[in-house]
Amino acid sequence: MDSTIWKDFINVLNNPLTTKDYINYYKIITSWIQSHRNNFKSETLSENRLNLLSKLNPDVYVVETPGFLLDNEKKRFEKNEPDNFDNFAMILGNRLWDMVTNRGKECPNCEGDEMRYLITKEENCSEIILECNSCGWTETLNGEKWRRGIIETLPANRKDLQRFNIVLN
């Protein structure tokens, strides 16, 4: 990992505004990614959803409780400098994904993670589905295995969930 770029990222975390709240954190981190896009391979940005995550409106998509404390972020990153940009992109992508995905039920396939609510982006209709972060198991809201193949999805935001009468705990 390039030490200059790593130091620049850590400096962003040193700014108290960065960890003021989850929406600010998301905005600042995605802005940093956008300004350093040329340091990442394009495949790496896609594979780790960073292209998608950088385009989402945090005011619409960031969830209330992403499952981690902002107070710990700077320490977490300082202790774990990634070996390379691919690992760094994976860490950033996972963290940002946690911030925009609402958790559903436990995965019936691996029982190791909670499934996340996603909305399909289809031309004539959209549907809420659940996907496991760990094993990739995907199912419909009825609990049936997703069998329609690979399609484009987005994290289901609060309005999407309300539209489909889904109440989060």
pLDDT (tens digit per residue) in 51-60: 999 999 999 9
Find the range with the poorest average confidence among 19-33, 80-94, 138-152.
Answer: 138-152
**Helix, strand, coil % in the chain, rounded to nearest 5:** 45, 15, 40
42 and 94 co-located in one domain: yes
Q: What pLDDT, in 10s, does the model give residues 24-73?
A: 999 999 999 999 999 999 999 999 999 999 999 999 999 998 989 999 99
Among 100, 121, 144, the domain-final residue is 100
53 and 12 co-located in one domain: yes
- Per the structure block, which two tokens stand in for 138? 């995907």
pLDDT (0 to 100) of residue 101: 96
The pTM assigned to this predicted structure is 0.92
Among 67, 100, 133, the domain-final residue is 100
Full residue range of the structural domain in which residue 122 is found = 103-163
20 and 68 co-located in one domain: yes
Whether residue 169 lies inside any domain: the answer is no
Residue 54: strand, helix, or coil: helix
124 and 88 co-located in one domain: no
Q: How confident is the model at residue 168 (pLDDT cuts 50, 70, 90)?
A: confident
